[in-house]
Amino acid sequence: MSAQRIVTAVVLTPLVVASMFLPTPYVAAIAAGLFLLGLWEWSQLVGIKGQLWRALYVMVNIALMTALPWGHGLPLFGPVSLVGVVWWLFALLWLLRPDFGREASGWSCALKLVAGTLSTIPAWCALVLLHYGNSDATHVDANGPRWALFGLVMVWAADSCAYFVGVRFGKRKLVPRISPGKTWAGLWGGVAGALAVGLAGAPLLGVKSEQMPSMAALALLTVTASVIGDLFESLMKRHSGFKDSGTLIPGHGGMLDRIDSLLAALPVLWIAKGWLGL
């Protein structure tokens, strides 16, 4: 399985890197497609059986993604990203009560569908803003594509380091009721990976030497959010009895399994970047 994960990553990584240097509208369209694939898998996780109803759920989110730039442009993307940050704080409380919403009921399913939208739409908005470079639509920041790529690489580096460190050194379980495979060693490995990428990538993003403490803080906030996103999807899979969200990506499961960390990390990255003056 490790070899399969590595081969898949080697094949997909150049495609991801190249796509980040396309114009922002193309990046937004590609990201929307991938995130909507994740929502398609999400609808199955939360108990929607009929494909017609699952398609309807995805279409509602397509309508939201279309309405945001069409009606208001980029200025609304910032507040929506902030909504995402607030949502993930509520999701953290949900993780502290892992049995909440476990029962297969109508209200539980509806709540989880809303959670899927609150997880996905703000993350998409944040990625678009990172790539564009600002939210007022007055100019394109030349560093925008680098920031967007940086966000993806930092989160995926944290995921990879957490996986390999956890496999090699992990003994003490992190939250066995939610994700029996995750360990404290893996968590610290992921934090170390995020910090390494954050500090190494800072000069390429125009970050000055005196801003390095802020860059380290940004990496810590982002990787913390990514862990929450990963654990939240694990909780949803635990509720539904699924091991993976799908089989789309060899060695990695479904699309949602690959973007779960990003869904939480991207809004936090965008908001924290502005807050820290980076």
User: Six-digit token pair at 134?
Assistant: 């600002």
The Cα 194–Cα 186 span in angstroms is 12
Q: CB within 8 A of 169, min separation 6: which ones? A: 183, 185, 189
Does the CA dihedral 182-173-109-86 come out positive or negative?
Answer: negative
pLDDT at residue 95 in the model = 96
93-100's contacts with Cβ under 8 Å and 24+ in sequence apart are 94/232, 94/235, 95/175, 95/178, 95/228, 95/231, 95/232, 95/235, 98/175, 98/177, 98/178, 98/235, 98/238
Read off the tokens for 175.
Answer: 């939250």
Per-residue tens of pLDDT for the chain, all 278 residues: 566 667 666 777 788 888 888 999 999 999 999 999 999 999 998 888 889 999 999 999 999 999 988 766 788 899 999 999 999 999 999 999 999 998 888 899 999 999 999 999 999 999 999 999 875 555 567 788 999 999 999 998 998 899 889 988 988 999 999 988 899 999 999 999 999 999 999 999 989 999 999 999 999 999 999 999 999 999 998 898 887 676 665 556 678 888 999 999 999 999 999 999 98
For 22-65, the DSSP string reads S-HHHHHHHHHHHHHHHHHHHHHHTT---HHHHHHHHHHHHHHH
179: DSSP letter: E
Q: What confidence score (pLDDT) does residue 153 get?
A: 92
Q: Is the distance from CB of 75 to CB of 136 less than 8 angstroms?
A: yes
Q: What is the pLDDT of residue 94?
A: 96
Give the helix/strand (H/E) hosting 110: helix 106-132
As a whole number of angstroms, the distance between CA 223 and CA 71 comes to 33
**d(Cα 143, Cα 68) in Å, to the nearest integer?**
24
253 SS3 class:
strand
Neighbours of 91 (CB within 10 A): 20
CA angle 226, 230, 234 (to 5 degrees): 165
Which amino acid is it at 22?
A: L
